[in-house]
Amino acid sequence: MSRFLTLAYGLLAYVAFLAAFLYAIGFIGGFLVPKDIDTGSGAPLAEALLVDIALLGLFGIQHSVMARQGFKRWWTKIIPCQVERSTFVLLTSIILGLLYWQWRPLAEPVVWEIQEPALRLASWSLFAFGFVVVLLSTFLIDHFDLFGLRQVVLYALGRPYTSPTFRISAFYRYVRHPLMLGFLIAFWATPVMTVGHLFFSIMTTGYICLGI
């Protein structure tokens, strides 16, 4: 029963990650989602900035603290080690969901807007390329281990966990952090850059650079 529940928990966390990742594409790109980076109930500038900074800060604190080895050693005294990564993924996905839900738009004014159809297409292509790089980079590392699914499957099968072997291939031959680079490309490649989108891009770029 323990193995079944562990596997179910890992699958739930992985599905939550997929939902958060797919929503992020629409949230940043401004399509196919009920609320994106530039839509939603308006708020006074000071309130919007405080709320958005708090949401990004919450994500940054959770993401950074839970990734620390010291925290992991303490955390796995409370929860089983086989679900440590899945718990990290699930909490990250929940916080992203909160960010999508509570984000306060700063749509006006527009910083830049590309009118030329060919250049708009190039911008959207670059946006899509960024997210493709992100996704492919996770598989180059070990996608299912990165998001906790490999750990719970091995536990369910009664097999010991072994860390995946990292190989320098594809993007990693040229860039140290292609996954982070993909996010940066996706955050900045937009035909319409609003103040809110610019604020989001600056804050997340700063966090990525600090994290690296």
pLDDT of residue 95: 98
Nearest to 108 by CA among 153, 56, 65, 48: 48
| Upper half-sphere CA count for residue 74 (Cβ side, 13 Å) | 6
pLDDT of residue 40: 81
| Stretches in the chain below the pLDDT threshold 70 | 1, 107
pLDDT of residue 43: 79
pTM score: 0.92
C-alpha 33/C-alpha 57 separation (Å) is: 23
* Residue type for position 93: S
C-alpha 71/C-alpha 65 separation (Å) is: 7
pLDDT of residue 207: 95
pLDDT of residue 42: 74
Question: What residue spans define the domains of the chain?
Answer: 2-211
pLDDT of residue 106: 87
First to last CA, the chain: 40
78 contacts: CB under 8 Å, gap ≥ 6: none
pLDDT of residue 77: 93
C-alpha 186/C-alpha 23 separation (Å) is: 14
The answer to whether 145 touches 164, Cβ cutoff 8 Å, is: yes
pLDDT of residue 195: 93
